[in-house]
């Protein structure tokens, strides 16, 4: 699906499915926003800089799942917990993150925190299916030669990594899955991944 027409079809598919889907899930979006505000006053959305197609950084949107002063809390926690610091430096995430709010834990376990990325799709920064968006440090540390391949496509809300184990698999395998998706991507493959994503979300497999 790397041809010009293939990319046009994929983009049209992304926009149409996202617009229709947004109408159906709008009540859920409003309810989640209400719960976030009620539990921990502050912004509903969180934007984190990720690397997109052609290596361009963009603000990747999520529902805020952490306390407002998360950065200060993280530095203090890592300074006091060497094992947590090692986990953070290895994976850029913590399985038991003290900054995550109660509603945030639910959103993360169900992947509902990533729903606002539909706006990234509508802005043309992401696709429904693709490699997961990563930060520059991850790209530099783990991707090696695959970094060039990663930058040839838009990152996705879901992808081969999500339906293959997600956080239960190592980073090297994640990079290999990204490379496999990019090399052999197809419209039918995207549809299969989207369908499998529903099951993964319902089972809360590999999400934290």
Q: How distant, in Å, are the alpha carbons of 18, 104, 118 from that of 109?
A: 22, 9, 19
Q: What are the boundaries of each domain within the chain?
A: 4-65+100-203
Q: Is 174 exposed, middle or buried (0-12, 13-18, 19+ CB in 10 A)?
A: buried
Instruction: Check whether 205 has a pLDDT greater than 80.
Output: no
Confidence band, pLDDT 50/70/90 cuts, at residue 147: very high
User: Model confidence over 100-142: pLDDT tens digits?
Assistant: 899 998 998 888 999 999 999 999 999 999 998 999 999 998 8
104-120 residues labelled b (16+ CB within 10 A) or e (exposed): bebbbeebbbbbbbbeb
Cβ pair 45, 109 in contact under 8 A: no
pTM equals 0.84
Angle between helices 4-39 and 187-203 (to 10 degrees): 20
| pLDDT for the residue 155 | 96
């Amino acid at each position: 699906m790397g041809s010009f027409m293939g990319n046009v079809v994929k983009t049209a598919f992304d926009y149409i499915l996202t617009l229709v889907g947004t109408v159906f899930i709008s009540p859920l979006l409003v309810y989640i926003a209400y719960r976030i505000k009620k539990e921990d006053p502050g912004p509903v959305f969180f934007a984190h800089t990720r690397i997109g197609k052609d290596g361009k950084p963009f603000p990747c949107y999520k529902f805020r799942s952490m306390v407002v002063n998360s950065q200060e809390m993280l530095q203090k926690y890592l300074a006091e917990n060497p094992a947590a610091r090692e986990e953070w430096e290895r994976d850029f995430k913590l399985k038991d993150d003290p900054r995550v709010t109660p509603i945030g834990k639910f959103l993360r376990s169900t992947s509902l925190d990533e729903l606002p990325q539909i706006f990234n799709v509508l802005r043309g920064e992401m696709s429904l299916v693709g490699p997961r968006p990563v930060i520059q440090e991850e790209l530099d540390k783990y991707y090696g030669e695959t970094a060039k391949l990663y930058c040839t496509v838009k990152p996705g809300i879901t992808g081969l990594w999500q339906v293959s184990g997600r956080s239960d698999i190592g980073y090297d395998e994640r990079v290999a899955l990204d490379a496999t998706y990019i090399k052999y991507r197809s419209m039918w493959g995207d549809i299969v991944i989207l369908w499998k994503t529903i099951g993964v979300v319902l089972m809360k497999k590999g999400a934290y």
